[in-house]
Structure 1
């Protein structure tokens, strides 16, 4: 469709990032993500307890901890331990109330990224209260389900490999297989987010794929680079003391918000340029 337009698209995306003050907007998103983080962990642990022994979630989450910089996972680990210690995982009326409140609080982080993507796409939010919150809750539940599915994969993979006589490949499969799976899940989630979150008519899937690819690859590379930097060069514990792990987590979340919004800028530029060239949402 726009095969000859990649250089202008790159230039246009760069200009959009500056015009939209993307780095500052991403920092604002991180503020709401931080407010939503602990309720989201509570919702995750509570949901996990519906299917398995909640006490085992710490070990299973540790298998996914390599996607965040070294040392910062301790913030998540401490909150998981706090939820387990408070006994918020026993099924009952209090559990359902706690889970509902946690989901509603975590929903604030999702609405923050929706609002930021509206700014990226230069559109105003015109969806009503119930429609917007219902949609953002669906995205919140989808994100929660994706994490639970990833944990389930970590649990199920060793069992399946052992039953077919490939138990010795468990460690290798988990170490290397999780990255392609994580990349595919990230690409799929971002594509859905870019297509549905901004308040504008949903474009064809192929129009959101470029930004999803850029954001997925940038996020994986950025996470690896930040982990290496924090592990080998920066000692935030020496600078910030007990807040060192939290500062590292905030920087990783900021990097995540930047690449997600930058992917949206790529797609927004593609859609704007396609409109100027006369392409429509149904054009092949």
Structure 2
């Protein structure tokens, strides 16, 4: 009896894996992952310029921004990130801030357009929205992501002040708030999770609720963070890429990481679609 149960369980898992593999091929996730990784790379610098331009009006330092962004990428790229942000931060002119903000925001939103195309294909949806409207949505999502990072900066920089204020006015919450402030990894996880939920809900050309996006968002968040940690470990301990790529090693490794993260992101969307259509449970 137990032997038959094990066989049935194995066959069910095998059929589910085969079905999932077929869905990946049908939705061209590898192709859209490559496209999105490319545009993410191009949009990175404009986004950082936009973020730094905003931070000039706020009491946040360059180091605080670096600390927040480093939570989302492998440790192998931290030095590269610090160099890029430092260079942009010290080269921006205050007199060009309005132009910098508008131009950088418009360019950074390009990556969300590629994500919209990919997610529409994953969900098997035709794009019927106006191009200008989609571009406006992309700009809004870029701003939301920037605001989430700024919120994280606020907790990091003013964490103690927030804690003392809550302890004084809301003593029952002080234990919870102290735990959240002391666990930066939890904050990073929460930011990514919220962003993925918003993205799966709003970017594709379809109507859905936030609750139905939770499985894919949770999968994408866990997958992103776990893969980043494993990839960082691999690069740190088996780094012979300089022989092949020379001075372009960091860029090449960053593109591989971005490609894998975009792949994970689209897999989260695929999981949401399969659950919405009851494809998984019907199997």
Shorter chain as denominator, the TM-score bin is 0.7 to 0.9
Q: Select the residue among 216, 222, 245 that pairs with 1:211.
A: 216
Q: In the TM superposition, what is the alpha-carbon distance from 1:77 to its structure 2 partner?
A: 2.0
CA distance in 1, matches of 2:59, 2:182: 25
Structure number with greater Rg is 2
CA distance in 1, matches of 2:266, 2:137: 19
Q: In the TM superposition, what is the alpha-carbon distance from 1:52 to its structure 2 partner?
A: 2.3
Q: In the TM superposition, what is the alpha-carbon distance from 1:74 to its structure 2 partner?
A: 3.0
State the partner residue of 1:22. Answer: 29
Would the alpha carbon gap of residues 174 and 67 (structure 1) be closer, same or farther in structure 2, given more than 3 Å must change? farther
Q: List gaps (5 residues or longer) in structure 2.
A: 1-11, 168-177
What RMSD in Å do the two structures reach over aligned CA positions?
A: 2.7
Q: In the TM superposition, what is the alpha-carbon distance from 1:122 to its structure 2 partner?
A: 1.1
CA distance in 2, matches of 1:186, 1:241: 33
What does residue range 90-169 of structure 1 map to in structure 2 within 5 Å? 90=94, 92=95, 94-158=96-160
Q: Could you list the per-position Cα deviations for residues 7-31 of structure 1 after superposition, in whole angstroms to 9, with x for gaps in the alignment?
A: 6766543321122221222011111
CA distance in 1, matches of 2:153, 2:243: 33
Q: In the TM superposition, what is the alpha-carbon distance from 1:67 to its structure 2 partner?
A: 3.2
2:36–2:262 contact (8 Å) kept in structure 1: yes
* Secondary structure, aligned partner of 1:243: helix
TM-score normalised by structure 2 residue count? 0.81
* Secondary structure, aligned partner of 1:111: helix
2:68–2:149 contact (8 Å) kept in structure 1: no
* Secondary structure, aligned partner of 1:72: helix
CA distance in 2, matches of 1:121, 1:233: 37
1:58–1:80 contact (8 Å) kept in structure 2: no
Q: Select the residue among 204, 208, 212 that pairs with 1:198.
A: 204
Would the alpha carbon gap of residues 161 and 204 (structure 1) be closer, same or farther in structure 2, given more than 3 Å must change? closer
Q: Which has the higher helix share?
A: 2
Would the alpha carbon gap of residues 60 and 129 (structure 1) be closer, same or farther in structure 2, given more than 3 Å must change? closer
Q: Could you list the per-position Cα deviations for residues 201-251 of structure 1 after superposition, in whole angstroms to 9, with x for gaps in the alignment?
A: x22333221111111111111111111111111233343222222222222
Would the alpha carbon gap of residues 21 and 139 (structure 1) be closer, same or farther in structure 2, given more than 3 Å must change? same
Count of residue pairs the alignment pairs up: 258
State the partner residue of 1:33. Answer: 40
